[in-house]
Amino acid sequence: MKFAYSTTVFRARPLSEAIEGIARAGFSAVELIADRPHAFPRDLTAGKVTDLNQCLEQRKLRVSNLNSCVVTSIGDYQNPSWISVDWREREERINYTLECLRMAAAMGIPGVSTETGTEPVHEAMNREDAVGLFIGGMHRVLPLAQKLGVKMLIQPEPDSLIQTTEQALDFLKKMESQSSLRINFDAGHFYCVGEDPCEAWEELKSYVAHVHLDDIPSNRTHRHIQLGEGAMDIPAFLSCLRRDNYEGYVTIKLDSYEQRAEDVVLASARYLSEKGFFEGKMDKEV
């Protein structure tokens, strides 16, 4: 497995600073947030994409994933949604996702992750209706994903349309296992909904194209906290991935912290190193 770091912890700062901080902590890749101020597709002209690729190349970094789950540039933390009652909001989400797929292809990013819509479902529709809307939306974007060779990654998440392993498997069955549709597996999310991340991994691993890693408080609140500061058995989960010879990226994705983002990233690297999983070379000056 390979370790990457999400730029979410640098969300209030320029992307160049996020790239620098993540590289100096020894990570081999970054996950880009497809939102301002980092990598909002409508802001990235061909010239800016070239500059960004050069910046990544200079720091010898790849991009593990393009995260399009939250897009505050055109909405808030829940909208526009795949399952909104308002068809215009659904169209906004679809068009934004198509833009993300094109940007991912232009930058050689293997996948684009997306949320599945927030529950509870609006009183005007039931769960079956909401699942139908999400399936319809996926059918709008998957042809382009297939054409461009980019994976569309759905992310099971607490309080969303797809939360559990069972719901994820049921959805994939409805989609008839399309090759361009895969899972963005966030271990902490499964822990939040009462599942064992290792057991969830066992059920879903054949569909997983990218992994998110964070720690979760003992009360299973949906908060992404520093590795080793919560109740999850992170070494056990990573051992499951190692046992199965998972060769993809494990991206550390934490919420914003009060302390300096560079220190947060470095603390994650040190934790993984102490547990015997991380071999990146940390910059002594960080």
How many whole angstroms separate alpha carbon 88 and alpha carbon 144? 21
pLDDT at 27 > cutoff 60: yes
- In angstroms, the CA 158 to CA 191 distance is 9
Quickly list DSSP for the chain. -EEEEEGGGGTTS-HHHHHHHHHHTT-SEEEEESSTTT--GGG--HHHHHHHHHHHHHTT-EEEEEE-S--TTSS-SS-S-TT-SSHHHHHHHHHHHHHHHHHHHHHT--EEEE---BSSPPTTS-HHHHHHHHHHHHHHHHHHHHHHT-EEEE---TTBS--SHHHHHHHHHHTT--TTEEEEEEHHHHHHTT--HHHHHHHHGGGEEEEEE-B--TT--S--B-TTSSS--HHHHHHHHHHTT--SEEEE-----SS-HHHHHHHHHHHHHHTT-------TT-
Structure tokens at 83: 């399952």
Rounded average pLDDT over 127-149: 96
The dihedrals phi and psi of 268, each to the nearest 5 degrees, come to: -65, -45
* Domains observed in the chain: 2-274 (3.20.20.150)
pLDDT in tens, 165-192: 999 999 999 997 688 999 999 999 999 9
Question: Which residues lie closer than 8 Å to 33 by C-beta, 6 or more apart?
Answer: 6, 7, 8, 11, 39, 67, 70
Assess whether pLDDT exceeds 70 at residue 284.
no
274 contacts 268 by C-beta, under 8 angstroms: no
Question: Stretch 54-81: mean pLDDT, rounded?
Answer: 91
pLDDT of 41? 94
Please report which confidence band the pLDDT of residue 121 belongs to, taking 50, 70 and 90 as the band edges: low
Q: Which residues, in sequence order, are CB contacts of 264 under 8 Å at separation 6+?
A: 9, 226, 254, 257
pLDDT for the residue 286: 44
Average pLDDT of the chain, as a whole number? 93
* 208-263 pLDDT, tens digit each: 999 999 999 999 999 999 999 999 999 999 999 999 999 999 999 998 776 799 99
